[in-house]
Amino acid sequence: MKTLGDRKVLDHVTFEAPPATVTGLLGPNGAGKTTTMRVVATLLRPDEGHVRVAGVDIQDKPIEARRMLGLVTEEPGLLDRLTAREQLSYTARAYGMASGVAAKRIEWLAELLGFGDALDERAGILSKGNRQKVSLCRALVHDPPVLLLDEPTSGLDVVAAAGLEDLLRQDGITGGKTVLLSTHRLDEVERLANRVIGIAEGRVVVDATPDELVTTSDSDNFRDAFVKVLGAASLGGR
User: How many other CB atoms are found less than 10 A from the CB of residue 34?
Assistant: 20
Residue 81 φ then ψ, to 5°: -90, -10
Q: Go through the chain and tell me how many residues it has.
A: 238
Q: Which of 222, 57, 76 is nearest to 160 (CA)?
A: 76
Dist. CA 101–CA 119, nearest whole Å = 17
Got the DSSP string for 91-139?
A: HHHHTT--HHHHHHHHHHHHHHHT-GGGTTSBGGGS-HHHHHHHHHHHH
Q: What is the pLDDT of residue 237?
A: 46
140-to-90, 162, 207 alpha-carbon distances in Å = 13, 20, 27
Residue-wise pLDDT tens digits, 166-190: 888 888 788 889 999 998 888 888 8
Residue ranges of the domains in the chain?
2-68+144-236, 79-143
Per-residue pLDDT, 234:
55
Q: What is the pLDDT of residue 118?
A: 94
Contact 213, 224 (CB under 8 A): no
What's the confidence (pLDDT) of residue 3? 54
Looking only at the bridges linking them, the beta strands covering 7-10 and 56-57 are: unpaired
Q: Top-level CATH class of 2-68+144-236?
A: alpha beta
Query: Within its chain, how far is the Cα of 180 from the centroid?
Result: 5
Residues 34-44 have pLDDT tens digits of: 889 999 999 99
Regions of the chain where pLDDT drops below 50:
235-238
